[in-house]
Structure 1
Amino acid sequence: MNRKDYYYEKNAPEPKTIVPAVSAVIIDKSNQILLQERVDNGKWSLPGGGMDPGENVEQAIIREVKEETGLDVKVIKLTGIYSDPNHVIAYGDGEVRQQFSICFSCEVIGGTLVTSHESKRVAFVPISEIDSLNMHITQKIRIRDAQNNQSEAYIR
């Protein structure tokens, strides 16, 4: 694995960067959520990733979902901004960053479900199974925040 997430751990390395990232909560009509099993850490995760220069956050989430799942989405609403300095992500290449992720609720409007070079599996999973999956707690927090469907975005 070339990624390790630290969450409120005393042995976490010191972050050196903050990279803007996006993630998508996509829940279908049968109450299943779109997830990918990541190659870099073996955990289930929301689709998402880093922003590219020249794009805005909406373009970034639409691109990331398409790249990672094959699905086309439209953004419904901002559900939260996650920048907890106690969530540190260390990569095999030596990069260590503090989490900074902007999460959106999205809706599928087209495409075909496929895996990418970043995912072992991509699937719609019953939300009732979330707690039994190998998933980082910060992903579960984003999912629960989106399910609460409050009018204002969470800032965590």
Structure 2
Amino acid sequence: MPTRFDYFDDPRAPKANSIVPSANVIVTDDAGRVLMIRRSDNGNWAVPGGAMDVGESIVRTGVRETLEETGIHCQITGLVGIYTDPRHVIHYTSNDEVRQEFSIVFTARYVSGDPTPSDESREVVWVPRDEVAGLTMDRSMRHRIDAYLRGEGLPQLG
């Protein structure tokens, strides 16, 4: 059973009770494939990422979360966007936290390591760019990845 539910502009969504800065990272290898994870908490596909810790930079958050969730070492190379839409909330049923979206999405290049699942990712795979669109993912993740695939590379103001 899923323990994470994403809501976008949904009147039935629970009211946000927290906001947590987070990073997502779109890592590519030399062949241009995108590193994707199948999330353990809802079964959807996503790029690696997670919450920023106290005393940590947001860039370091992205590198750390990528390594923890995928076994891949990466180097941040750019910015896809900043996503802070208050209409997007994430409900974690394990502790009833409801976060307002606050995600900075980076691009990165593969440095080393082998795709390795973790507690947060039940699958980790390199996906050819033209196959990413066929993966099941939440609306907000799709929006972020589509911005990258279109080559926008500009902060999203919303």
Q: What is the Cα deviation at residue 80 of structure 1?
A: 0.4
Aligned residue for 2:69? 68
Runs (5+) with no aligned partner, structure 1: none
What is the letter of the counterpart of residue 102 of structure 1? Answer: I
- The answer to whether the aligner puts 1:127 opposite 2:129 as a matched pair is yes
Distance 1:151 1:130 in 2: 18
Contact 1:130–1:140 at 8 Å: present in 2 too? no
Question: Of 112, 117, 120, which residue of structure 1 is paired with 2:119?
Answer: 117
Partner of 2:24: 23
TM-score norm. by structure 2 comes to 0.92
Aligned residues: 156
**2:49 paired with 1:48:** yes
Alpha-carbon offset, residue 151 of structure 1: 5.8
Structure 2, gaps ≥5 residues long: none
On the 8 A contact 1:87/1:99 being kept in 2, the answer is yes
Which stretch has the larger CA shift, 120-129 or 146-155? 146-155
Deviation for aligned residue 1:101: 0.3
TM-score by length of 1: 0.93
1:104 matched residue in structure 2: 106
Greater CA drift, 38-47 or 24-33: 24-33
**Contact kept? 2:37, 2:46, Cα under 8 Å:** yes
* CA-atom RMSD in angstroms: 1.4
Change (3 A) 1:42 1:152: closer
- CA shift in 2, pair 1:9/1:82, >3 Å: same
Q: Report Cα offsets for 1:38-97 as digits up to 9, x if no partner.
A: 010110011000001110011111100000011111110111000111111001121011
Identity percentage of aligned residues: 37
The DSSP-based 3-state class of the residue aligned with 1:26 is strand
Deviations 1:3-43 (A, max 9, x none): 10001211111001110000001233433211100010110
C-alpha contact 1:79 1:104 (8 A) present in aligned 2: yes
3-state SS of paired residue (1:61): helix
Q: What is the match of residue 5 of structure 2?
A: 4
